Every structure is written in structure tokens, then in C-alpha cells.
Amino acid sequence: MRSSRRLPRVAIAAASLLFLALAQVGSAQQRALTIADLYDPGRRISFSGRVPGGLTWLDDRHYVERHAGGPPMRVEATTGERAPLVDLGRLEAAIAALPGVATGEAGRVARRAGHVFNRDYSALVFALEDDLYHYDIEAERVDRLTESPAAETEVSFSPDGRFVAFVRDGNLVVTDTGGFREHELTDDGGGRIRNGQLDWVYQEEIYGRGNFRAYWWSPDSTRIAYLQLDDRDVPSFTVLDHIPYRPEVETWDYPKAGDANPVVRLGVVGAQDAGAPTSWVDLAAYTAEEPLVVDVGWTPDSGRVVFQVQNREQTWLDLNLADPRTGAADTVLRETTEAWVNVTGPPTWLRDGTMLILSERTGWQHVYHVDRAGSVLAAVTGGEWEVRALHGVDEDAGVVYFSGTERSPIGLDVYRVGLDGTGLRRLSEREGTHSARFNPGLTHYLDRWSDVSTPPQVRVHAAADGSEVRVAAANPVPALERYELPRPEFLQVPNRDGFEMEALLIRPPDFDPTHRYPVYQHIYGGPHVQRVRNAWSTETLYWQLLAQHGVLVWVLDNSTASGKGAVSTWPVYQRFGELELRDLEDGLDWLTAQPYVDAERIGIEGWSYGGFMVSYALTHSRRWSMGIAGGSVTDWRDYDTIYTERYMRKPQNNSEGYRRSSPRFRAADLHGALLLVHGSMDENVHMQNTLQFAYALQQAGKPFDMMIYPKSRHRLGSPDLEHHRRAMMLDFVIEHLRPTRGVSTTEQAGQ
């Protein structure tokens, strides 16, 4: 639906002429961004450049890099000498020689992304017409692994490369790489029982979006630990594709807050023993807690399964060891906090059987050296900053490598420290965000670095002192030089409690402090999810485009989204929206005190949790005159159990908190122009949220705008739809914030 609120076309046309005149004043070599520059799929302007992906160390001297459309490359770390790990032409010829392969199909399969390689990249598995094939790269030999009408998913090699595991029809299967010697390790899967495969909520909220694999090889390749998820009591949710004449129906096992979760079991089975029974890990002590198994692995000697368990509301976390033969389990340690406990990852084992763990026990995530009984031997790091990743420990040198925020909460740096906690040293020099991958021997690391104005670059560094060994990808981006981009400024703004909130401000390129500008505020706001970061993001380009239209762009991370320790997030417990909004208003108090800000023309935009915050702000405050809410949660009873109950508890334990936190129930208090945006096939945050909110707004007699994207998920996916969304957003901003230089996308199209 579209409301009747519109700027007169004469006013928009006048703004367009003014913008064109001003744009011609600048340098002849530089120009302003347009929506088409950033999002038109036909233009193919690369603002981020191209850096290799899939960076993985083969050994201490060589790593693997991948480029779109090409084979994985073996690269010598210090010299840059490279060679393809697989000849795609020879792979294509080997596939073409298989019986029944259609003309042209071999080339498409050979160059398809998604081949699964073994550990040393000497072999790969590819899929052809729903069956799996093994290709020995040196011998150039193809062996068929499966012959079944059912699809095989979650494919992996055993650590020794002799076997391939996969999931078919809900069961875990292993075959040797010689082909056609299958071992079906489970036989009770299918339907809503999954062995070795995650359901929607486990992959989305625990093991990582898009990762559905739920089995783990032992290091010696003899056993597999796996999860069995039983979703028979989990309510389903239907999603429709409305575009075909007969709508296509999808049904997802989706537990909403308060619903039954999947029932989980952890089993261990011999990887080469067809028909061998599963040894089930004893979880009886957790049954009443409706347990979540949130991490699984093995000790280095394959002697124990290492797993972590949480109660349903995630107020504690246990680290356990289990005997893979009997299933008997012992608890090593239990983590608790004053609110919820986050999963911090698996332990790193030392030769003496002790381990390094990440823990938020002080409210800040740090590294601890603990023994097999869970006693702390040393706090390896400490302070009011976070360790974000633990890379490894050089036991001979007594040194631990990690990434953390000791220098800046909006960046990320690489560090080393003594195992005893002494001698902390920052290895990375440039300010910004450094993402490190260390080789097995911890002598070198690959560093992917960027800052807010520089697209990613990759370098090889020495681990001992962080010195640069080689530039692996300088990634120059000539397109950026053609545009006059206003500079983002980082600020700190205190809230009413004195907490320093991180902020980013982008001023129009011809900023005049005597002029009063409208404000476009971007928000996410969810617990520990930062949007103010000294890192490259194409979203910043969109903000710079808005600034070129005469809008001040304001991005503020509320305290619970600051990334400044778990302790900063705990106050939001059981009450979404309230404290976040208070911080946003405190930020506006500072901003609107500046003489160049027009407090009557402030808009706010966000997606997902950010869409929730926009909806909450416009129904609980009168500070914003405009809002764009995309993919929004508008009633927390509509969202999934594991995410929602972590912060809000079960609805029956916090019913009033759920109602207060849900904008749907405050629709009558809407203030300002509102644009709702949602994908009709969003299986994550269901479109139901936006429709329920729209219905409540209609009942309250509140005008609003709405745009639904058919066939789209939580992210729109298709570049043409993203182009449409961004153009629509720009028009909405110009209409309601009325920047003096505003030009609609209609006028831009004629430039």
C-alpha cells in the first residue's frame, strides 16, 4: 500500500535542478554517487575490488586461495609462487568420459563452486545428477560413490582422506573413496528425525547460518560423533511462493518462543562398521532442562568426545567429556552469569591434557588456562576489552596468539601473549579491522585488513613480531577514485549513565555549519552486534550517497550493541527495546544540540533487529519524523525459541516483558511516516510480523507505506530487487526529510 503523503513533483524537480547545478561545481574528475552506481546489476561497478577467498593453510609454507570461476590455487606464502591445485580441463575431460553425461554438462560440473576437497587437496568429491563422485587429482581418476535417487548432503572427507561421509534421507552414511562400499551408520532417520544434520533453528542460532552439518569425525578417522534432532513435536510454519499460478508451499520446522524445541541426542558410531549400534552419550541428568547441545568435538587423541550443553533458557553452560564406547559423561566446568551465557567455542588442548578456553565469566571474553578438572591455572588475558578469536598456542615458546579489541572496540587486532599471561604484544600496526589465519606451526599468518575507507587487502606476516612478509592482495579499486566521497567521522557520545557510545557521522561534502540539515539514522541495536566499525562495508557507500544529497548520516551503537563486553549487554535481559531506545534518544540529545541539526527532520532505518528497533522507536517516542523498518520482528512471540528465550526467557516466565517489547501492541501510538518492507518468503523473520503490525496500524487508523518483495527471503537476494529497495528508500528519505539537495531516483534516471 502507498499513503497519500507526497511532495509536489514541482518541489522534487526543483531539488533535482539544484543538485545538478551543485554537482557541476566540483572537480571534473570526481562525481557524486547514484543508486545505479551502487546497485544497478547491469553496471557491474566494483567498489570493493577483488580479494581471494577460501584462504586456508595447507601446511606451514603453503596456503590455498580461491577466485570466482577458477580452480583453487596453491600459494607459497613468502614468495607468492602459485599453481592450480586441480586442472579444471582435465577434471572436465574425466567427467565427460562418464557414461550418460550430456554435452556441456561436464564443463558446468567441473567449474561449479562447492566441490569438497580432502585435507591436502589431493582429491575432491563432486555431485552429478544427485550422486557423488570421487576424483583423484594426481591419477585423474573418477570413482562413483553413490547410486541413489535421493540427494546426498553435508559431505565431508575423513581426516585421513580414505572415507567420505554424508547425510541421505535423514541418515548418516559413509563410503570408502574406492566407491560403492557404503556403510549406513544410522537407519532411524527420515521425515522429521535427522541424524547428522541440523534443523533450521539449530543452524540459525547455534552452529552458524547455512551450516547444517551435525557430525564430527574423530581425529583418527575411526569414529563419528553426531547429533540426532527429533522435530516431531516442533510446530511447523508454512511459507508460500505466490508467483506461480498454483502457489508453491514450503513447510519449515520452526519453534516460536514458548514452543517445543527439537529433542536432541548425541551419539557415537564406528565410521567403518556397517550395522554397528550407536553409543548414546548419557544426557539423562539434563532431561528436565530441555537441553541444547551447542558444541561438539574430540580430544586430540580421539579418546573422548568433548561437548557443551545448555539449559533451554541458556542461563548456564557445561563443558563435558564423554567415553565414546560407553557414553558415560563427566562435567569439567559450568559457566554462569547474571543473565545468559554465550557459547564461546571449543577448548584448545595442550599436550599435558590441560586446555585453553574462552570465557565471559568477568563480563569480558578472555582466555583462561584450565586443567582437566576445570580449575583455572592462569588468566592468560584480562581487562576491559575482548578476545574475539583464539588462534592457537605455541607450547614450546609458551606463547598464545589471539585477536582482540585491546586497542579499539570498533576495530580488531592480532596479538601474542605468554601462556602465563605476561608479555602482551600487539602484532598488527594499521588501525582498522584485522582478520588473521595462522598456519599450523604458528610461524606465519594471513591478515585480511580493511578500514572504513579502504577495501580489504591481504598480507602475509611473521607471527614472531607481526612484520610484513609479502603483500598477497593489494586490491586497488580504481572506481573509488572517480567519486568524491564524504569522510566518515568516528565519535564517542555518553549516555545518561556515562557509558561512552560509539558513533559515526557523515556530513554532506559541502557541509556548511550555518545550515540546518536533516538526519538519517541507521540502527541495528541487537545484543553485541556493532554497526559502528572501522572496517570496509558497502553500506557505508550508501550512507555517503545520502550525505551527498544533503543529509547528515548518523550511526550510533547503543550500549548493549557496543561490543564492549557481555557485561554491556546484560541490562537488556527480559526487556528488549526499552534500554536501546533510551540510548538512541541520549544520542539524539547530543546530536540535536549541534547547531547544524534540524531536530524536526530525523529519520531512522534498520533491518531485522534494526527493523524491530525502528518500529519500537516510532511507537514509543516522538523524536523521529520518519522510519524505514525492514524484515522486522514486531511481536517477540513470533520469533524462534533459541534466540528469543536466550534474552527474554520463555513467554510463560516473562509474559509482560514480551508484550512491552513488541511494537505490535503499541500501533496506536505510531508517530511519523513509516515504511514497512519484508520478503514474502522470509523463513527467518516471517512476513507474519509485518502483516500483524500492519493490521494493528490499520485498526488504529494509522497511515503507513508498505512494500512486499515476492520470492524474497530475509535478505532479498536478487540484485535487481536490492536495486529497487534502495531506490525506494532514497525516494522515501527525500520525500519525508526534504533535504535541500534531494534528488529522487526518477530524476536520477534522466541524468
Question: 292, 312 in Cβ contact below 8 A?
Answer: yes
Average pLDDT over residues 346-367: 97
Strands 62-66 and 399-404, by their bridges, are unpaired
pLDDT of the residue at 747:
46
502 neighbors 530 (Cβ within 8 angstroms): yes
How is residue 108 written as a grid cell? 558446468
Nearest to 293 by CA among 339, 323, 329: 329
The helix/strand/coil state of 140 is coil
pLDDT of residue 20: 37
Mean pLDDT across 489-504: 98
Q: In 371-395, which positions are buried (b, 16+ CB within 10 angstroms) versus exposed (e)? A: eeebeeebebbeeebbbebbbbbbe
The answer on pLDDT for 488 being more than 90 is: yes
For position 653, what pLDDT does the model report?
Answer: 98
Q: How far is CA 131 from CA 44, 125, 127, in A?
A: 35, 10, 5
DSSP percent split of the chain into helix, strand, coil, nearest 5? 20, 35, 45
Cβ atoms 20, 32 nearer than 8 A: no
Whether 680 contacts 330, CB under 8 Å: no
Which among 158, 279, 568, 608 is annotated as catalytic?
A: 608
Tell me which of 115, 686, 714, 723 is the catalytic residue.
Answer: 714
The predicted model gives 506-520 an average pLDDT of: 97
Amino acid present at 162: R
Task: Give the pLDDT band of residue 146 (cuts 50, 70, 90).
Answer: very high
Q: Rounded to an integer, what distance in angstroms lies between the CA atom of residue 138 and that of residue 90?
A: 10
714 annotated active-site: yes
Residue 179 is predicted with a pLDDT of 67
**Dist CA 152 CA 167 (whole Å):** 6
**Are 95 and 110 spatial neighbours (Cβ–Cβ below 8 Å)?**
yes
Q: Which of 442, 547, 463, 538 is nearest to 505 (CA)?
A: 547
pLDDT in tens, 650-697: 999 999 999 999 999 999 999 999 999 999 999 999 999 999 999 999
Contacts of 32 (CB under 8 A, 6+ apart): 23, 26, 483, 484, 509, 545, 548
Quick: pLDDT tens for 254-305.
999 999 999 999 999 999 876 789 999 999 999 999 999 999 999 999 999 9
Domain 153-346 - what CATH class? mainly beta
DSSP line for 487-515 = PEEEEEEE-TT--EEEEEEE--TT--TTS
pLDDT, position 574:
98
Q: Which cell numbers hold the place of 132?
A: 557423488
Closest CA to 501 of 479, 517, 481, 521: 521
How are beta strands 597-607 and 626-630 bridged, if at all? parallel
Rounded to whole angstroms, the Cα distance separating 36 from 724 reads 10
CB burial class (10 A; 0-12, 13-18, 19+) of residue 629? buried
Mean pLDDT of 563-569: 98
pTM value is 0.93
The pLDDT value recorded for residue 15 is: 39
Q: Which of 251, 205, 202 is nearest to 227 (CA)?
A: 202
pLDDT band of residue 130 (cuts 50, 70, 90) is confident
Q: Please check the confidence at residue 25 and state whether its pLDDT lies above 50.
A: no
131-136, strands of its sheet edge to edge: 116-117, 123-128, 131-136, 141-144
Q: Where do the structural domains in the chain lie, given as residue ranges?
A: 9-48+478-559+583-631+665-748, 153-346
- pLDDT of 751 > 80? The answer is no
- Asked if residue 432 lies in contact with residue 450, where contact means CB atoms within 8 angstroms, the answer is yes
Closest CA to 281 of 301, 307, 299: 307
- To which residue does cell 584462504 refer? 55
Q: Is 446 helix (H, G, I), strand (E, B) or coil?
A: strand
Which pLDDT does position 103 carry in this prediction?
Answer: 81
Q: What is the pLDDT of residues 685-722, one digit of tens each?
A: 999 999 999 999 999 999 999 999 999 999 987 899 99
Residue with cell 508453491: 248
Q: Does the domain formed by 9-48+478-559+583-631+665-748 have CATH 3.40.50.360?
A: no
pLDDT given for residue 433 in this prediction = 98
Q: What is the pLDDT of residue 12?
A: 37
Residue 318 and residue 302: Cα distance in Å, rounded?
20
Does 583 participate in catalysis according to the annotation?
A: no
Q: Is 87 a catalytic residue?
A: no
Which pLDDT belongs to residue 564?
98
What residues have CB less than 8 Å from 244, skipping those under 6 apart?
Answer: none
Q: How far apart are CA 389 and CA 392, in angstroms?
A: 9
Give the least confident one: 101-105, 424-428, 581-585: 101-105
Average pLDDT over residues 338-360: 97
pLDDT at 44: 79
φ and ψ of 47, to 5 deg: -95, -15
* pLDDT tens string 150-207: 999 999 999 999 999 999 999 999 999 976 688 999 999 999 999 999 999 999 999 9
Topology alike, domains 9-48+478-559+583-631+665-748 and 153-346: no
Report the distance separating Cα 125 and Cα 117, nearest Å: 6
CA atoms within 13 A on the CB side of 567: 15
Which residues make beta-bridge pairs with 239? Answer: 250
Mean pLDDT of the chain: 93
Residue 8 has what pLDDT?
39
Task: State yes or no: pLDDT of 597 exceeds 80.
Answer: yes
Of 451, 557, 682, 731, the active-site residue reads: 682
In the chain, what is the straight-line distance between the N-terminal and C-terminal CA atoms, in Å?
A: 29
pLDDT at 746 over 90: no
> Which residues, including other chains, have CB under 8 Å from residue 462's CB and lie 6 or more apart?
443, 444, 469
Question: What percent of the chain lies above the pLDDT cut of 90?
Answer: 90
| 457 beta partners | 449
pLDDT of 23 reads: 42
Give per-residue pLDDT as tens, 305-329: 999 999 999 999 999 999 999 999 9
